[in-house]
Amino acid sequence: MKTNSNLERILENGKFAVTAEIGPPKNADPEVIRRKARIMKGCIDAFNVTDGQTAVVRMASWAACLIGREEGIDPIVQMTCRDRNRIALQMDILGIAALGINNVLCLTGDYVTMGNHPSAKPVYDLDSIQLIKIIKGMRDDKRFQNGEKIDVEPRLYIGAVSNPFGGYPLWVDVIRLEKKVEAGADFIQTQCVFNLEKFEEWMKLVRQKKLHERIHILAGVTPLKSYRMAKYMSENVPGIEIPERILNRMSNVPKEQASEEGINICVEIIEKLKETEGVHGIHIMAIGWEEVVPELVKRAKLLPRPTF
C-alpha cells in the first residue's frame, strides 16, 4: 500500500470500486456537504469534491472534503492548475496530507471565461501531467519539484481524468492517458459514458498498450433526470456524447417517468461497464441529484461495499 486510502485498498484487492461526486455549494454552509455525504455513506468507497468546476467560485474542495470525511467517507480532493502556481500547489499538497486526506485528483482546469469571473487571470504554471509527476516525486522520492528534500512526505493516492469523448481521435486521448500513467497516476476517472460502443473502442486501445494493467480505470456515469437535461448536456456540455437512442428513450416516456427511465439507463450502462475488461470501477456524477446514488448502487448490485 502506497497510502492509507480506502480507495487504494478496494482497488488493490481487486474489488470493483464505486466513487461519487459531491458538488460544493456557492456559499459557506457546511450542512450542504454533510447532507450529501450522509446520503452516500455505505454506498461508495470514496467521494470527490470538485475544485472550481467550470471556473465558478464555490467552497474549496479541500474544505468540503474535510467536512465530508467527518461523516465517515474517504475524500478525494480535486486540484486544478488553473488557479495556482507550482509553489501554491505543493503547499496545498502538504496541507491536505497533513490533514489526513489520502487521495488527490489532478486536473488542468476549465478556462476562466467559462465561469462567473471571466476577467480573472488564469495561472496554468503546470498542467495536470506535470502536477501528477510532482506529487509522485514528493511522495515516493521525498523531494519537492526543485529537488529539495522533504522530511515527512505526503502519502497521497494520485488520480487523474480522461475523456474518450473529447472530439478528437481516440488514440490521442490514449496517448495522453499513457503520459499520465508514466507521470505516476494511480487511478483514472473518465468523463460520463453514454456511448458504450465508443468507450469500448477506447478501451481496446487502452488494452493494446496494457495501460489497464498499470492504472485503475473508473468509468464515469451520470443518471439523466429528464429529457431536457439529456438534450442540454448533449448539445452544450463539451466532452459529453449521448447517442440518439438514449435521447429517444428519454423523450418517449411521460415527463413524470423520465427520472426513472434515466436511472434505468444508468444501471444498464453500469452493468455493461462491469463486464468490460480493464474497467475497475465506476465514478458516479449525479450533478445535483446525489440522493439517487444509493438507488443506483443497489440496482447495479454493488452492495454491500467491501471493507478491509
What pLDDT does 182 receive?
Answer: 98
CA distances 201 to 134, 207, 245, Å, are 31, 10, 19
Residue 96 sits at the vertex; the CA angle it makes with 90 and 97, to the nearest 5 degrees, is 90
What pLDDT does 168 receive? 87
CA separation for the pair 182, 214 (Å, rounded): 9
Cell, residue 159: 488520480
Cα dist. 102→3, 5, 197, 221 in Å? 7, 5, 34, 23
Q: How far is CA 218 from CA 57, 90, 221, in A?
A: 27, 26, 9
Class of domain 6-299: alpha beta
The secondary structure of 20-41 as a DSSP string is: EEEPPPSSS-HHHHHHHHHHHT
pTM above 0.85, yes or no: yes
User: Taking the domains of the chain in order of start, what are their residue ranges?
Assistant: 6-299
Is the separation of the CB atoms in 290 and 225 below 8 Å? no
Cis peptide before 304 (omega within 30 of 0): yes
pLDDT value of position 238: 84
| Predicted pLDDT of residue 167 | 87
Burial class from Cβ neighbours inside 10 Å (0-12, 13-18, 19+) for residue 200 reads: middle
Of 285, 303, 223, 278, give the one whose Cα is nearest residue 23: 285
Please tell me what DSSP assigns to residue 305.
P
Alpha carbons 218 and 20: distance in angstroms, whole number: 11
> Number of C-alpha atoms within 13 angstroms, CB side, residue 210?
1
Question: If the chain, 308 residues long, is cut into consecutive pieces of 10 residues, what is the mean pLDDT of each piece?
Answer: 97 98 97 97 97 95 98 97 98 98 97 95 97 98 98 98 93 97 98 97 98 98 97 92 97 97 98 98 96 98 96
Strand (E) positions, 110-193?
A: 157-162, 187-192
Containing H/E element for 77?
strand 75-80
Q: Can you read off the three cell numbers belonging to residue 3?
A: 497510502
